[in-house]
């Protein structure tokens, strides 16, 4: 990941970097890797996330249809 600093504005470059890291899921990945997660727990978590994502998308589609 790369961010360019313009006009010595480091604060803005840091904000842009944090936003890019957030969008890419890097912070979430770091949080998950702090502790070991058993493979069965990982599968369960990923399955639950997929269900949540599916429900969220379905709700959005229903809203658009109205």
In tens, the pLDDT along 11-46 reads 999 999 999 999 999 999 999 999 999 999 999 999
Note if the pTM is more than 0.85.
no
Give residue 55's Cα distance to chain centre.
18
Residue extents of the structural domains in the chain: 1-35, 37-66
Whole-number pLDDT of residue 66: 78
- Rounded to a whole number of angstroms, the distance between the first and last alpha carbons of the chain is 40
Burial of 17 (0-12, 13-18, 19+ CB in 10 A): middle
């Amino acid at each position: 990941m790369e961010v360019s600093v313009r006009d010595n504005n480091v604060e803005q470059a840091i904000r842009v970097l944090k936003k890019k890291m957030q969008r890419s899921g890097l912070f979430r990945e770091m949080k998950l890797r702090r502790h070991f997660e058993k493979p069965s727990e990982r599968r369960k978590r990923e399955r639950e996330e997929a269900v949540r994502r599916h429900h969220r998308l379905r709700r959005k589609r229903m809203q658009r249809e109205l």
